[in-house]
Amino acid sequence: MSRQSVTVLGSTGSIGASTLDVMARHPERYQAHALTGHRRIDVLAGQCLAHWPARAVVADAAAVDALDGLTRSAYVKAGRRLQIDHGVRALCEVAGEADTVMAAIVGAAGLLPTLAAARAGRRVLLANKEALVMAGPLFMQVVREHGATLLPIDSEHNAIFQCMPVGGRPSGADVLRIVLTASGGPFRTVPVEQLASVTPDQACAHPNWAMGRKISVDSATMMNKGLEVIEAHWLFGLAPADIEVLIHPQSVIHSLVAYRDGSMLAQLGNPDMRTPIAHALAYPERIDAGVAPLDLVQVARLSFERPDLQRFPCLGLAYAALAAGGSAAALLNAANEVAVEAFLGQTVGYMDIPRIVEQTINAIAVTAPSSLEDVIAADDAARRVARGIVRSLSSRTGLPA
Ligand code: NAD
Ligand code: MG
């Protein structure tokens, strides 16, 4: 069997590291082609020396020199060569070169490289949900036209994919609806009036999953689930009314599909992203992921509740953006990225996040993007407006902008 070459976009992140962990368990199947990271060059260097990719991409020229310094002698000793580049163009290049591309850059920064992988007709493992939220119709069109294989990594979407008929899409009217499960995050039971004063570290302390800081805050606000509703709409072609969200604090059922004969199919497992990653890497085969089997007796109880939109206004904002269509989801995503960054930088408070998102969407007319440039223009406009709101909020509270 010839080995699959794999580019891991965002290899230094949480999903990236889990991907390399699964690949390392199967050296006869997977070979790293390129690894990319933005800031943690020491981590990236360690990954290069463990996986020997031919290419690496970093943020800027200084990072190129730093990575070169950390890897050159080991590569020379091993008789290998590492080509190190920086910037978006290089990210798009390495995304187009491998058999399989793990799209695990966080946020809008992942859009162009992920699209490049789809345009090159690759097998695209999609963790970077923001790319699909921003540019859903365009993204799916590129996947279709260029014969790419799109496999969802988000645990909910991967679960739904596994519970769908072969091919991962509903056939005819058989599928009535899907249910996305959500843990409810760290503030599920915290009194609403205390939320205004929670800190970034509290927001990032997720009860069940260890993830990057941006998605951890999104999980606390449930914007993550909102982005996932939009992601599910584009991946599975279901109407918003047929995409339900339920809070399931144990994070054992990763999502469900309801069929017209009364069947409900669910995918269960321990909350460990290596399961969906291994599923997508090996699909349609199954490989060991290093994940312990689920002990149902120890889990004992599975509970469900409806999300409270007073506590989680971001979820309502995301459904509204999906209903509005056009550029609305790109505006939502960009405003959320700015708001979360400001919250993580302690410039605004936690409850300012939905405020910034809502005010940004209300301030900008929704358009119907017909090109990538239109999507990027909407993203830019939303960032400008959201940053203005951050400045006015921080000057009011005396926090640094
Ligand atoms: P993370 O913050 O741990 O890692 C992000 C990666 O992106 C890093 O490698 C970083 O270097 C890179 N990066 C950041 N900014 C960049 C930029 N401007 N240009 C190029 N690279 C950049 O994030 P994560 O938790 O691994 O999440 C990655 C993606 O996967 C996100 O879209 C997230 O929503 C999605 N996802 C994550 C999980 C999870 O369990 N962590 C689950 C489902 C979906
Ligand atoms: Mg998810």
What is the per-residue pLDDT across 57-88, written as a single tens digit (0 to 9) for each?
A: 999 999 999 999 999 999 999 999 999 999 99
Q: Does residue 312 share a domain with residue 189?
A: yes
* Same domain assignment for residues 72 and 216: no
Give 61 Cα–ligand 2 centroid separation in angstroms.
Answer: 34
How many C-beta neighbours within 10 Å does residue 145 have? Answer: 11
DSSP state of 81: -
Any atom of ligand 1 within 6 Å of the Cβ of 16: yes
Is residue 44 within 6 Å of ligand 1 at its C-beta?
Answer: no
Please give the average per-residue pLDDT across 257-283, as a whole number. Answer: 98
- Same domain assignment for residues 67 and 112: yes
Q: Is the pLDDT of residue 400 over 60?
A: no
1 pLDDT above the threshold of 70: no
User: Is a pLDDT exceeding 90 seen at residue 180?
Assistant: yes
Among 282, 302, 320, give the residue marking a domain's end: 320
- Regarding whether 208 and 79 lie in a shared domain, the answer is no
In this structure, the dihedral spanned by the alpha carbons of residues 151, 119, 7 and 70, taken in order and rounded to 10 degrees, is -150
CATH of the domain at 93: 3.40.50.720
Tokens in use for 197? 């004063």
Q: Say which ligand is closest to the CA of 155.
A: 2
Decide: helix, strand or coil at residue 43: helix
Report CA-CA distances (Å) from 375 to 139, 145, 214: 11, 19, 21
Last residue of a domain, one of 301, 320, 339: 320
| The predicted structure's pLDDT at residue 210 | 85
Nearest CA residue ID for atom 31, ligand 1: 106
Q: Please give the full DSSP string across 344-362, using - where no structure is assigned.
A: HTTSS-TTHHHHHHHHHHH
Ligand 1 binding pocket includes 57 (Cβ within 6 Å) = no
Average pLDDT along the chain: 96
Is the C-beta atom of 212 inside 6 A of ligand 1? yes
* CATH (domain of 340): 1.10.1740.10
- 312, 340: one domain: no
Distance 314 CA to ligand 1 centre (A): 20
Q: Rounded CA gap, 208 and 230, in Å?
A: 23
Q: Which domain holds residue 349?
A: 325-401
Ion ligand 2: residues, CB < 5 A: 154-156
Distance 111 CA to ligand 2 centre (A): 18
Ligand nearest to the CA of 180: 2
Judge if 330 and 353 occupy the same domain.
yes
What is the CA angle 232-236-238, rounded to 5? 85
Same domain as 275, residue 369: no
Element (H, E) at 294: none
Domain identity same for 13 and 68: yes
Pairwise CA distance, residues 216 & 202, whole Å: 10
From the CA of 16, which ligand is nearest?
Answer: 1
CA of 168 to the centre of ligand 1 (A): 24
Q: Which atom of ligand 1 is nearest to the CA of 129?
A: 32
Contacts of 360 (CB under 8 A, 6+ apart): 331, 334, 335, 338, 382, 385, 386, 389
Q: Give the ligand whose atoms come closest to the C-alpha of residue 226.
A: 2
Residues 56 and 91 grouped into a single domain: yes
Q: How many structural domains comprise the chain?
A: 3
pLDDT-derived band at 168 (thresholds 50, 70, 90) equals: confident
pLDDT for 68:
98
pLDDT, tens digit (0-9, with 9 covering 90-100), for 83-113: 999 999 999 999 999 999 999 999 999 999 9
Cβ–ligand 1 distance for 38 under 6 Å, the answer yes
pLDDT tens-digit profile of 287-329? 999 999 999 999 999 999 999 999 999 999 999 999 999 999 9
The residue whose C-alpha atom lies closest to atom 43 belonging to ligand 1 is 154
CA 104 / ligand 1 centre spacing (Å) = 5
12 CA: nearest ligand 1 atom: 9
Which residue among 131, 152, 173 closes a domain? 152
Task: Give percent of the chain above pLDDT 70.
Answer: 99
Q: Is residue 166 scored above 90 in pLDDT?
A: no
Instruction: Tell me, rounded to whole angstroms, the distance of Cα 186 from its chain centroid.
Output: 19
Best substitution site from 43, 88, 106, 273 to test ligand 1's pocket, by max atoms within 8 Å of Cβ? 106
For ligand 1, what atom is nearest to the CA of residue 107?
A: 32
**C-alpha 370 to ligand 1 mean position (Å):** 27
Closest-lying ligand 1 atom to the alpha carbon of residue 10: 9
User: Coil, strand or helix: which one is 67?
Assistant: helix
Based on the domain organization, do 139 and 186 belong to the same domain? no
Determine if the pTM surpasses 0.95. Answer: yes
Helix (H, G, I), strand (E, B) or coil at 334: helix
Contact call for residues 176 and 260 (beta carbons, < 8 A):
yes
The reply to whether 86 and 217 lie within a common domain is no
Question: Ligand 2 centre and the CA of 301: distance in Å?
Answer: 21
**Nearest bound ligand to CA 251?**
2
Is 48 found in the same domain as 28? yes
Check if 184 has its Cβ closer than 6 Å to any atom of ligand 1.
Answer: no
